[in-house]
Structure 1
């Protein structure tokens, strides 16, 4: 098991930050699962690095100026507009 295994209080703290209510059984289960996850990361640290140059290619196309919609055409199918802009629902 990992040297930095989480303890139940750390799991409770993370649950409080995430606003998730956990009972004692769930805290125990998540503590074990977090320990397993940390073990997997330690295993990944043991994988040797491979030194090689990567062949990078630019896959982006160059920008091309072309004709676009007028403001009236762009707003033609909008359900609501205001002052020449799209209008969305109020967010409260």
Structure 2
């Protein structure tokens, strides 16, 4: 199904250096993988909807909930500069 020349070509495209022994090994292994894909072609998939996952997964993330930080004053106090309730940082954009 796959020969050593094809293995050399794939190795070249992947920028891999392979020895003649590895070429032989990969020829066998890649051949086995491709045979498995041929078996998958025999499966009946006519009525199977396309999907990106094998199982149905819904959004499991929680929604964001705003809540005040308990040690806000100590956090602002450890900043190099603050202005009221905000951190003061150097300007990075030019005004035009």
**Structure 1 residue 21 displacement after superposition:** 1.8
Which one has a bigger Cα radius of gyration? 2
Change (3 A) 1:64 1:8: same
Instruction: Pick from 11, 36, 43 the counterpart of residue 40 of structure 1.
Output: 36
Alignment-derived partner of residue 67 in structure 1: 68
The CA RMSD measured in Å over matched residues stands at 3.4
Change (3 A) 1:13 1:73: farther
- Structure 2 gap ranges (5+): 50-54, 80-88, 90-96
Length-normalised TM-score, structure 2: 0.50
**Structure 1 residue 13 displacement after superposition:** 1.7
Bigger RCO (CA 8 Å, 6+ sep): 1
**Structure 1 residue 17 displacement after superposition:** 2.7
Alignment-derived partner of residue 83 in structure 2: none
For residue 15 of structure 2, give the secondary structure of its aligned residue in structure 1: coil
- Kindly tell me the number of residue pairs found equivalent between the two proteins: 70
- Structure 1 gap ranges (5+): 75-83, 85-92
Separation in 1, partners of 2:76, 2:35: 56
Change (3 A) 1:55 1:13: closer
Length-normalised TM-score, structure 1: 0.52
Change (3 A) 1:60 1:18: same
Change (3 A) 1:60 1:19: same
